């Protein structure tokens, strides 16, 4: 039995090669079209992401402004009678200062105090929040430390006390404020 070897080129004709090339050309056109569509979709996705980013930033600014407004409202509700409340405790403050800033040597603000009451012997710094949280207490402790250091550098040896005022206090936050040694002033009191 004789084995016949087939020539791999046998059966190939010009027409078959031409048809294969035309099919590759069509596939190439389809691939190019898909690439163009993907690029357009990518541009559209980029445009949408930029718009989403813009909306998120705008919303953040609005929410931040609302938080600031709520904080200012709380300060305006607390400030008018806070002096009288402390005077009833025997402090005898004559004046009140709001939104006091402590700056470093470069003029950068390193701490802000919402309300500051002072007399000959005491300084009472008051932090005002619409709804105080535990993190606010820790932050306030750091600002009081900065205030103490600032006063020491200026040979001011008056005793510094702290108070946190708020419209709504959760019991655990109220306990933490008292444990930190601060006075507390809430809407309920």
What was the pLDDT predicted at 2?
Answer: 52
- Is 44 within the bounds of a domain? no
- Check pLDDT > 70 for residue 8: no
- Is 105 within the bounds of a domain? yes
For the stretch 119-141, pLDDT in tens is: 999 999 999 888 889 999 999 99
> β-pairing, 122-129 with 109-118?
antiparallel
- Check pLDDT > 90 for residue 143: yes
Q: Which helix (H) or strand (E) holds 186?
A: strand 183-186
For the stretch 164-186, pLDDT in tens is: 988 788 889 888 888 888 888 76
Residues in Cβ contact with 142 at an 8 Å cutoff, skipping those fewer than 6 apart: 111
User: What is the percent of the chain where pLDDT is above 90?
Assistant: 23
- The Cα–Cα gap between 177 and 165 comes to 10
Rg for the chain, CA atoms, rounded: 36
Backbone angles phi, psi at 7, to 5 degrees: -80, 120
**Sheet architecture: strand order including 122-129:** 95-103, 109-118, 122-129, 159-166, 183-186
Q: Across the chain, what does the average pLDDT equal?
A: 81
SS3 26: helix
- Is 29 within the bounds of a domain? no
Give me the number of domains the chain comprises: 1
Tell me the two tokens of residue 167. 């419209």
CATH code, domain carrying 161: 3.40.91.50
Q: Is the pTM here over 0.85, yes or no?
A: no
Residue-range definition of the domain harbouring residue 107? 77-186
Q: Measuring CA to CA, which residue among 139, 129, 137 is closest to residue 166?
A: 129
What was the pLDDT predicted at 168?
Answer: 80
For the stretch 11-65, pLDDT in tens is: 778 888 888 888 888 888 888 888 888 888 888 888 888 887 777 777 667 665 5
- Is 34 within the bounds of a domain? no
- Check pLDDT > 70 for residue 9: no
- Is 174 within the bounds of a domain? yes
SS3 56: helix
Sign (positive or negative) of CA dihedral 109, 142, 159, 165: positive
- Is 132 within the bounds of a domain? yes
- Is 156 within the bounds of a domain? yes
Q: Measuring CA to CA, which residue among 164, 158, 167 is closest to residue 183?
A: 164
pLDDT band at residue 79 using 50, 70 and 90 as cut-offs: low
Tell me the two tokens of residue 84. 């009288």
- Is 89 within the bounds of a domain? yes
């Amino acid at each position: 039995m004789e084995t016949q070897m087939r020539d791999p080129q046998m059966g190939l004709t010009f027409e078959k090669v031409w048809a294969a090339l035309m099919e590759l050309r069509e596939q190439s056109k389809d691939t190019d079209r898909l690439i163009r569509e993907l690029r357009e979709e990518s541009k559209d996705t980029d445009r949408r992401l930029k718009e989403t980013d813009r909306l998120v930033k705008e919303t953040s600014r609005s929410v931040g402004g609302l938080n600031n407004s709520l904080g200012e409202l709380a300060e305006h509700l607390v400030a008018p009678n806070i002096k009288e409340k402390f005077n009833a405790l025997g402090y005898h403050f004559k004046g009140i200062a709001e939104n006091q800033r402590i700056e470093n040597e470069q003029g950068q603000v390193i701490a802000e105090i919402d309300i500051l009451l002072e007399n000959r012997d005491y300084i009472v710094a008051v932090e005002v929040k619409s709804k105080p949280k535990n993190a606010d207490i820790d932050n306030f402790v750091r600002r009081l430390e900065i205030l103490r250091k600032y006063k020491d550098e200026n040979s001011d040896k008056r005793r510094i006390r702290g108070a946190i005022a708020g419209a709504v206090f959760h019991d655990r936050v109220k306990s933490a404020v008292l444990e930190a040694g601060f006075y507390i002033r809430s809407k309920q009191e």
